[in-house]
A and B are shown apart, each in its own frame.
Chain A
């Protein structure tokens, strides 16, 4: 199985400030034939199902605010929220879809400082 490890486990950021969440995979999720990273990011607000934010490591899902961005390649990835808003309080998960079983990071809880 590909193990996904996120850091930090929790994060407190002031409104309007930048939040950065890291995700590391135990093996590369870059598919050489198409040069795509099989990595997605989800946001889960309390009591809600996960919501897709980012796929192919850096492609924003339709309707997702542009303050959310994804970067990285191979085994190391980052989700950045450029200017934290109150509605961004949530747990964020990375997930690899390079192979089965599909695996998720343990989650990063983002709060307001």
Chain B
């Protein structure tokens, strides 16, 4: 059974960079698309971006200028960096896997439990 676990600081100061890592267990990170999705308290889901294990990335245009995704296949991990954060970036951040068939990504079949990141001084 594939499991995803987010890790990283729960508190980030305004203007600094938010950094999170997702560790994948129970399966290989290879040949799948891996996404970050966030959810402010009481609100809906926003897709941040995704990375394939060949390091190809797609970003949400609304966040593209501030987001960097990376992958470390040797550690079965992928990571998110979001720069110049403000209070509006306070949210639960989820990592998720897009089920992939013949190299094409589809729906999210596995999700991490989520980690709350608060932006505050």
Contacts and interface: CB of A to CB of B under 8 A. Distances in A.
B44 A52 contact: no
A93 B45 contact: yes
B51 to A, nearest CB: 12
Interface residues of A, number: 22
Contacts of B45: 50, 93, 95, 104, 107
Given A50-B108, A50-B111, A93 B44 contact: yes
A14 B72 CA distance: 49
A102 interface: yes
Contacts of A42: 108
15 contacts: A42-B108, A49-B94, A49-B96, A49-B113, A50-B111, A52-B109, A55-B106, A95-B107, A97-B98, A97-B107, A100-B60, A101-B61, A102-B35, A102-B47, A104-B47
Interface of B: 35, 44-47, 50, 58-62, 94, 96, 98-99, 105-109, 111-114
